[in-house]
């Protein structure tokens, strides 16, 4: 990470574990917002006289509060946590892969640079995009299954494995688990903007600071995620449309392309339809990214201190062996290895 010495730098797996643990904790805390923003994004705008059902449920949601109220009324409080297990698996795997590859890509880039200055904004975005693209290839099936769980009605909802089997049994077959891959690859600009902005804000606001305080990490994470969400909301809405159950008006015919979803939304709801659900999306992003970076910074600090302790114990042991060998040599006695 920027600002850490090479001695204190974590290995890729250390950064990955810290990032994924922070992400799981943060997403678990605000998961109901994930359900609400997904339901709002997948539904199509309709007139009060319309009889068309929302593919997510029999209800149509007018706002975040309205969605929460109707979901609890229909499914109980547990309805706000539908698909949570699969979602957290997806969050853990996606963030582990992202931070692992981001650490490797950024370390490789810095090792080949001849100047000792922080990478520019364009480079930070590019490094994040490369890491995000690699991560998506491995983790998108879980996202597809989770989105399907979140957007079907209660009586259609199944477990993680059963939902995955339904996706495979559809007309797309196994490739259905990678539905929306192109949109996801386009959306790597979201974490790229998020972590690129985070790195730049950190370098500018806290230059040379090795460890951020919890509130500093929270503020930087929230600010960077807000910027990324506003810039990529239309792409997020289109991706959800690709991965969810199609609207009833399409008679079960799924969307095939990223552009097809966006054209459908604009045709039925206008350009503002591409920004539906942005309220809970931003709120979720602010809280998740804030808690994520706050937890990640703390976990990384624990790892750094642990590594220092292990190195110190190892150094002390080697020193004792060296002293023992030197003493035996001085006494002229045989050397015994412990």
What ranges make up the beta strands (E) of 96-241?
Answer: none
Say how many C-beta atoms besides its own lie within 10 A of residue 91's C-beta. 26
Residue 117 has pLDDT above 50, yes or no: yes
pLDDT of 46 = 56
**Residue 9 confidence class, pLDDT cut points 50, 70, 90:** low
Residue 98 has pLDDT above 80, yes or no: yes
Q: How far apart are CA 284 and CA 85, in angstroms?
A: 18
pLDDT of 58 = 54
Between 55 and 227, the higher pLDDT residue: 227
pLDDT of 49 = 47
Residue 280 has pLDDT above 60, yes or no: yes
Q: How far apart are CA 61 and CA 54, in angstroms?
A: 9
Class of CATH domain 12-44+59-317: mainly alpha
**Residue 167 confidence class, pLDDT cut points 50, 70, 90:** confident
pLDDT of 4 = 40
Q: What is the mean pLDDT of residues 220-241?
A: 84
Residue 172 has pLDDT above 80, yes or no: no
Please write the tens of the pLDDT for every residue from 236-274: 888 888 777 777 777 777 787 778 888 888 888 888 888
Identify the sign of the CA torsion 73, 76, 80, 84: negative
* Angle, CA 227 vertex, CA 225 and CA 228 arms, to 5°: 65
> Do 128 and 119 meet the contact criterion of CB atoms below 8 Å apart?
no
* Angle, CA 230 vertex, CA 34 and CA 240 arms, to 5°: 40
Residue 47 has pLDDT above 60, yes or no: no
Q: How far apart are CA 32 and CA 300, in angstroms?
A: 28
How is 104-170 classified by DSSP, letter by letter? HHHHHHHHH-SS-SPPPHHHHHHHHHHHHHHHHHHHHHHHHHHHHHHTS-GGG---HHHHHHHHHHS
Residue 53 has pLDDT above 60, yes or no: no
pLDDT of 204 = 85
Please write the tens of the pLDDT for every residue from 132-154: 888 887 778 887 888 777 777 66
The single-letter DSSP state of residue 334 is P
pLDDT of 169 = 79
The single-letter DSSP state of residue 245 is P
pLDDT of 67 = 87
């Amino acid at each position: 990470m920027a600002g850490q010495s090479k001695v204190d730098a974590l290995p890729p797996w250390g950064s990955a574990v810290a990032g994924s643990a922070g992400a799981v904790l943060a997403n678990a805390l605000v998961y109901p917002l994930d359900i609400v923003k997904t339901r709002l994004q997948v539904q199509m705008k309709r007139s009060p006289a319309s009889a068309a059902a929302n593919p997510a449920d029999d209800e149509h949601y007018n706002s975040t509060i309205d969605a929460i109220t109707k979901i609890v009324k229909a499914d109980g409080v547990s309805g706000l946590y539908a698909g949570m297990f699969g979602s957290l698996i997806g969050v853990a795997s996606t963030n582990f892969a992202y931070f692992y590859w981001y650490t490797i890509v950024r370390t490789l880039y810095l090792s080949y640079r001849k100047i000792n200055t922080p990478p520019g904004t364009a480079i930070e975005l590019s490094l994040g995009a490369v890491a995000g693209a690699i991560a998506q290839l491995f983790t998108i099936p879980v996202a597809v299954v989770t989105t399907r769980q979140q957007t079907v009605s209660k009586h259609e909802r199944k477990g993680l494995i059963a939902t995955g089997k339904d996706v495979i049994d559809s007309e797309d077959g196994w490739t259905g688990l990678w539905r929306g891959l192109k949109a996801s690859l386009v959306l790597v600009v979201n974490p790229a903007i998020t972590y690129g902005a985070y790195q730049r804000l950190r370098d500018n606001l806290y230059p040379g600071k090795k460890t951020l305080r919890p509130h500093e990490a929270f503020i930087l994470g929230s600010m960077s995620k807000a910027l990324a969400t506003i810039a990529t909301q239309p792409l997020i809405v289109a991706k959800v449309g690709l991965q969810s159950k199609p609207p009833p008006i399409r008679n079960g015919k799924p969307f095939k392309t990223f552009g097809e979803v966006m054209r459908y939304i604009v045709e039925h709801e206008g350009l503002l339809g591409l920004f539906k659900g942005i309220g809970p999306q931003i709120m979720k992003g602010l809280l998740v990214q804030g808690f994520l970076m706050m937890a990640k910074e703390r976990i990384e600090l624990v790892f750094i201190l642990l590594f220092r302790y292990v190195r110190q114990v190892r150094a002390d042991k080697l020193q004792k062996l060296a002293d023992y060998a030197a003493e035996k040599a001085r006494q002229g006695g045989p050397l015994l290895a412990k």
